[in-house]
Amino acid sequence: MGAGKRSLVATAVGLVCAVTVLGGAGAAFASPAPTPTPTPTATPTPSVTLPPNKDLEAVQKRLEKLYHDAAVATDAYNAAEERSERQSAEIVELAREIVKGQKRLAQLKDRAGAAARAQYRSGGLPPTARLWLSDDPQAWLEGVSLIRQGEKATTGLLAEMTRTQQDLQLYAQDASAQWTKLEASRKARAAAQKQIEQQIAAAENLESQLQKEEKERLAELEREAAAKAQTSWLGSGVIDDTDGSTTAQAEKAVQFATAQTGKPYEWGAEGPGTYDCSGLTSAAWAAAGVTIPRTSQQQWDQLPHVDIEDMRPGDLIVYFDDASHIAMYVGEGKMVHAPRPGRTVTIAGAGSMKILGVVRPGA
């Protein structure tokens, strides 16, 4: 989490603590402390034993599975992070409304107190009693009008005090509910983070058991598999009729994304120095003035879908059945993406992985 995000959460925590001391006119508001929820069960670290005879194709499949699972957990982490930010902002806004309500209630109480003190200074008799004791007919008529105005003002004052107290109660309840949701999001984020770290550690442990020559051969196998998939995809003719035209916004997004090549992959990162896959695509489109969802699964679910045959530069290509990876199409059958831990942002064949579909931001 960046410093700005940590500051937002810290501000929310500080402001919502004010809810615990809210009170007035005999009413006390509940603390927003969340109801304890069970701690997520720890995910066991996957096996990292090399397959028999160091079968590199089996190693490749195992690594793909580990990094894929890390990508799925990264999406879960990013979604929980996004929820935490939104819930923190809502708590901050509720706390501000509570502070405003407290000030308004204090003002209303001051007005009511002033009226009570004025009556005390007049001898303690209510205005109606003083009116009937008056011998001046003109004063009596004027007094009737004033009493009616005073009764109306008093009724309005009491009604406004009641409404303000009710609003404060609702704000406090909403803050408590949002606080509970925030704690749940934090726990989900922590569980996803643990899952990511375990999967990446297992993959790195597995790779560390290989000799230099074996690592080189493994990398070659990966390149061969990607090239084979790309050749087959292009050979299908699926993009033969695409015209390569695009919009000014999409062009800006492509320029931004391709300018990030060479920067390291880091799960949960949105730039500017490191990125994960959806962090790169969301940052690129943000640079073009378009806000899109944060995670690859959200981008797949929420953005307009287009046929692969109609794909144009700037569109986002979603990979695998669970939408766990995403890249940006840059034209001529290529895409730019942040592949996985240990790799950098790079341009590769758009068909080098299993395509789920294509979405178009800014449509």
Strand order in the sheet with 316-319: 305-306, 355-359, 316-319, 325-331, 334-337, 346-349
| Listed residue (257, 253, 276) closest to 76, CA to CA | 276
Q: What span, in angstroms and rounded, lies between the C-alpha atoms of 101 and 168?
A: 6
Cα dihedral 196/193/289/5 (nearest 10): -160
| Sign, Cα dihedral of 119, 125, 129, 133 | negative
Q: Report the C-alpha gap between 12 and 27 in whole angstroms.
A: 24
Residue 232, by phi and psi: left (phi above 0), alpha (psi -120 to 50) or beta? alpha
List, by residue number, the catalytic residues: 277, 325, 337
Determine the 3-state secondary structure of 344 from DSSP.
strand
DSSP conformational letter for 318: E
What is the DSSP-derived secondary structure letter of residue 309?
Answer: G
Residue 20 CA to residue 29 CA, distance in Å, equals 7
Contact partners, residue 60, CB within 8 Å, separation at least 6: 218, 221, 222, 225
Q: What is the C-alpha to C-alpha distance for residues 228 and 242, in angstroms, rounded to an integer?
A: 22
Q: Which residue has the tokens 């200074």?
A: 121
